[in-house]
Amino acid sequence: MRQIEAKIISETVERLCIEANYILEDALVTALKKALQVEESPAGKDVLTKLIENARVSKEEQYPACQDTGFTIAFLEIGQGVEVIGGDLYEAVNRGVAAGYKKGYLRASIVKDPFKRVNTGDNTPAVIHTKLVPGDGIKITIMAKGGGCENMSRSAMLIPVKGKQGVVDFVVDTVKRGAVNACPPVIVGVGVGGTFDECALISKKALLRPVGSPNPDHATAELEKELLEKINNLGIGPQGFGGRITALAVHVEKYPCHIASLPVAVNMDCHSHRVKTAIL
């Protein structure tokens, strides 16, 4: 068994929280620049230009890319040959989040109780997803997920007869209703299949791929293209000011499902897409 200290996990999470919020990934900045080439609306171009500049200012002048520094979501892929020592794994993650948000001057955006709504003050607790995998390492991915775009996410339990067209219609309709409030150009994570819970989870995991990288499965990649074209025909445009680019990318993930169902989930992500990974 390889032993990994809880303290190392905390330190890694702390660093990833800060990096995610200050250094937008290259694939995203590239996608924004590509969008600027394609966009035909003057207002849309102006927004894209400002967003590219915003990414630079964020990184070089130490301002978080967005003031909504998100709900911290931690995806942990834990090797079966790993033993975490020196503390509780979940506590270690949350200690890292609290330290990262404090040291990084990031906003505390979590309330302890959905009804009483008192801020926890340090952005904890994180939402933590763990998966056991072969091997003896831990892969930690931190996503800082904005509330505005999360609010525009939606899922449905379609029936099998609805098929691919039913899924396409639901995804496009969800974007049509919500993208304007989700800080477009958005990145659309889509889950198809699984159960009610698994479908939502894979729609979020779809967002972890580098922005614009196609699903390795050819048919799924074709579906992503079809969805992106339909979404960009909506005309909502950057910030809803009109234009060709409403979404930078659509990422679809699938999972087997029950003979009775065709679940679909759309997890909307804003252009301020903040994901960072480290491997221990």
Partner 1 sequence: MMEKNIVSEEIIHIKAPLDEKTVLSLRAGQLVLFDGIFYTARDASHKLLIELIEQGKPLPFDLQGQVIYYVGPTPARPGRVIGSAGPTTSSRMDSFMEPLLQRGLKGTIGKGNRSQEVIDLLKKYKAVHFSNIGGAAALIAKSIKKCEMVAFEDLGTEAIYRMEVKDFFAVVAYDTTGNDLYMEAIKRYGR
Residues of the shown chain interacting with partner 1 in the complex, contacts defined by CB under 8 A: 41-43, 46-47, 50-51, 53-54, 57-58, 61-69, 105-109, 117, 119, 121, 147-148, 151, 180-183, 233-237, 239-244, 270-272
Least distance in angstroms from the C-beta of 228 to partner 1: 14
Q: Which is nearer to partner 1, 61 or 113 (CB)?
A: 61
Q: Which is nearer to partner 1, 186 or 252 (CB)?
A: 186
Q: Which residues pair with 104 in a beta bridge?
A: none
Q: In Å, how far from its chain's centre is CA 11?
A: 22
In this structure, the strands spanning 138-145 and 154-158 are unpaired
Least distance in angstroms from the C-beta of 183 to partner 1: 4
Least distance in angstroms from the C-beta of 86 to partner 1: 30
Q: For residues 148 and 156, what is the distance between their CA atoms, to the nearest angstrom?
A: 20
Q: Which is nearer to partner 1, 81 or 147 (CB)?
A: 147
Q: Which is nearer to partner 1, 23 or 278 (CB)?
A: 23
Least distance in angstroms from the C-beta of 173 to partner 1: 14
Q: For residues 205 and 75, what is the distance between their CA atoms, to the nearest angstrom?
A: 9
269, 211 Cβ separation under 8 angstroms: no
Q: Which is nearer to partner 1, 254 or 273 (CB)?
A: 273
Alpha-carbon torsion 199, 201, 206, 211, what sign?
positive
Least distance in angstroms from the C-beta of 257 to partner 1: 32
Q: For residues 153 and 257, what is the distance between their CA atoms, to the nearest angstrom?
A: 21
Q: Which is nearer to partner 1, 115 or 260 (CB)?
A: 115
Q: Which residues pair with 85 in a beta bridge?
A: 5
Least distance in angstroms from the C-beta of 234 to partner 1: 6
157, 196 Cβ separation under 8 angstroms: yes
The encoded tokens of residue 54 equal: 């915003």
